[in-house]
Structure 1
């Protein structure tokens, strides 16, 4: 499933909510808001850079300077 997500969200080794490498024991933990689906991703999964995030009434978009844009509406087809 992660391979089907847009590059900034699913094709990497970094936690999209904390920016820590997934190999690191602290990288596996998720904030409570993210577990509830209330928090948009803040870090790029590919490079760990902080992304520019805009929250809208109907969702969010997140943009990595290197890996492009991901939109929550793109993820609706993944559900």
Structure 2
């Protein structure tokens, strides 16, 4: 099995290819607060759990992700 690439291929908010035009609704201030809904490597819909303490997201092929730590 190959290592996942570090560059995101798909938009994590809409699932469309990153290089397919602008994603104005995906790059706004509100989107910065939203957890990812699609895997950046394969565009599969992820299982997302939102709690009062934060969120977690899991792709069935590429594993999980969590938000960056708060300062």
TM more than 0.5: yes
Offset at residue 12 of structure 1 (A)? 2.1
Mapped to 1, the partners of 2:7 and 2:55 lie a distance apart of 19
Q: 1:22 aligns with which of 18, 24, 27?
A: 18
Mapping 1:56-75, distance limit 5 Å: 56-72=51-67, 75=68
Count, aligned residues: 65
Larger Rg: 2
Higher RCO (CA < 8 A, seq sep 6+): 1
Unaligned 5+ runs, structure 2? none
Which structure features the higher share of helix residues?
1
Normalization by structure 1: what TM-score? 0.69
Unaligned 5+ runs, structure 1? 1-6
- The runs of at least 4 aligned residues of structure 1 exceeding 6 Å deviation read none
Normalization by structure 2: what TM-score? 0.76
